[in-house]
Amino acid sequence: MAEAPLKGLKVVELARILAGPWIGQSLADLGAEVIKVESPEGDDTRRWGPPFITRPDGQGGEEEVAAYFHAANRGKTSVTCDFSDAGDLAKLKALIGEADVLLENFKVGGLKKFGLDYESLKEANPRLIYASVTGFGQDGPRASQPGYDFLIQGMSGIMDLTGDPDGEPQKIGVAWIDIFTGLYGVIGVQAALAERARSGLGQQVDLSLLDSGVGVLANQAMNQLLGGTNPTRLGNAHPSIVPYQVFPAADGHFIVACGNDRQFRALCAILELPLADDPAFATNPARVQNRDRLAALISEKTGARPKAELIAAMEASGVPGGPINTVAEALADPQITARGMQIAPEGIAGLRSPLKFSRSPLVTEKAAPALGVGGWTFRSGES
CA angle 277, 278, 282 (to 5 degrees): 65
Q: Spell out the alpha helix ranges (H) of the chain.
A: 19-29, 67-72, 86-97, 118-124, 149-156, 176-199, 209-215, 218-227, 261-271, 284-289, 291-302, 307-317, 327-331, 334-338
CB 256 within 8 A of CB 314: yes
Task: Report the distance separating Cα 305 and Cα 30, nearest Å.
Answer: 46
Give the pairing type, strands 244-249 and 252-257: antiparallel
Q: Among residues 42, 68, 73, 38, which one has the least CA distance to residue 53?
A: 68
Q: What are phi and psi of 34, to 5 degrees?
A: -115, 115
Amino acid at 128: L
Catalytic pick from 29, 43, 88, 178? Answer: 178
Q: How far apart are the first and last CA of the chain?
A: 37
For residues 321-333, one letter each, b for 16 or more C-beta atoms within 10 angstroms of the residue's C-beta and e for the rest, the string is bebeeeeeeeeee
State yes or no: is 57 an active-site residue.
no
Task: Report the distance separating Cα 250 and Cα 264, nearest Å.
Answer: 21
Task: List residues with catalytic annotation.
Answer: 178
